[in-house]
Amino acid sequence: PIKHYIKPHLAISWQYQMATSSRDNGKEAMQPGYEDEVDDFSFGGNHEFSPKQGAAKANRSAPSNAAPSVLGKGSEGAKDSIDLEMQPLTGTANEIPQAERPKKRLYNVWPSRNKFFCKGTMMTGGETEMGITPNCSVPNLCVWTCILAPCSLYFIWVFPHLWKEGCYALPLATLAVFVMATGFLLATCCSDPGIIPRREVVIATKTAKQLQEQLGYDMLCTDSVPLDGRGGGGRLPQELTSRGYRWCRTCRIVRPPRSSHCPDCDNCVMRYDHHCPFVNNCVGQRNYHFFFGFVTSVLCLAMMVLPVLFWFLNSENFELAVDGMIHVSSGALQPVFYALIALGALVGIATLLSFVLWVYHVFLIATKRTTKEFRRNLSNIAEEPTLCASRGPRLFDPWALVDPRDLIRTDEAPPPTPSNFCQDIWSTCFGDDYN
């Protein structure tokens, strides 16, 4: 009857297992004449097996009182007979668990154009129009040059001269203002302007409830907008739109009043003022204090450095030193002095522009308006001060562990890398083939 249930190769495997177990238990446990049959099952044997022979040997090796059974079936005496052949494969205790997908820090996979430094401690914005690189702009380089070049001449020549003459207050005050100006510039360039994380970042970091507590509303609008955020512009509650809340199609979030999306950094920013290429960053709620402090301190620094520097360059001691240097070098330093004159003119123009910028922002602070609100004639719905208001907390954690694939939108292609100032000049001079 076995030939009706099993195939010949299954019978061979079963008989081989029976022979192996019998050999391990000792030859005395075998029936007479079984040793020859076991040898026939060895790998070197030439025994030809048929289903009838396998059935006969199976009946002879099994106990006389054993009930007939079918291979792959449960015993007939069992309470629940189970067909083992029809059972699905299940894992064992030694099964290797599936490895988790690797995660990275958020600042390493930030989806917009910002660049993080010092392991996420500092960040700078993007630059699409006047950029040397995507995160370094020509105006920002000019600002650093206009500050460091005249101040270097001041501290190399003027500072020691005034100190020897017994004038200590002016050099020390100039040094303090210089430290303040460079510190405010660094803080403006490398701080978070008040970025509102986009939808993918909020979902990947699982901070929706925390942001709802900080902002006072659900920025994902989970009750009416799908999880991926598509088509959310027409599904905002009336109570939010009536208070000035708007939908951002790029970030796919609900942004509060006075905030806006920066096309250069590709982020929504709280109380967005403007994107400043001179600081290579957005100016918003969390760094406007640094920006106004920088404009004020650099104006004071120019008023303290430039007049004293021009006075010293026209003094007799400096003329004698210059005459000696020119005589020794046979006029080789004349181009250097011409360059200094040109740099002085550039610094003077920058000082006048800084004064105009300072007056403009004093006017904005007095009227409680931002640059965008003034340029587009928008009203301050929240009636919130521009300078004296609270900075607020940072709305994202750059050190959070996220899966990089959670930040990729499957329904749209990644945006192309924007060109910058140097790339446009290079393409104009040498063509696109040299990029």
Which residues are tagged catalytic? 276
Residue 272: name the closest of 364, 378, 370 by CA.
370
The DSSP code for 73 is: B
End-to-end CA distance of the chain: 80
Q: Give the chain as a 3 state SS string.
A: CHHHCCCHHHHHHHHHHHHHHHHHCCHHHCCCCHHHHHHHCCCCCCCCCCHHHHHHHHHHHCCCCCCCCCCCECCCCCCCCCEHHHCCCCCCCCCCCCCCCCCEEHHHCCCCCCEEECCCCEEECCCCCCEEECCEEHHHHHHHHHHHHHHHHHHHHHHHHHHHCCCCHHHHHHHHHHHHHHHHHHHHHCCCCCEECCHHHHHHHCCHHHHHHHHCCCCCCCCCCCCCCCCHHHCCCHHHHCCCCEEECCCCEEECCCCEEECCCCEEECCCCEEECCCCEEECCCCHHHHHHHHHHHHHHHHHHHHHHHHHHCCHHHHHHHHHHHHHHCCCCHHHHHHHHHHHHHHHHHHHHHHHHHHHHHHHHHHCCCHHHHHCCCCCCCCCCCCCCCCCCCCCCCCCEECHHHHCCCCCCCCCCCCCHHHHHHHHHHCHHHC
CB-based contacts of 146, cutoff 8 Å, min separation 6: 346, 347, 350
Cα gap 97→79, rounded to integer Å:
34
Name the one residue in this structure whose structure tokens are 């030859």.
Answer: 27
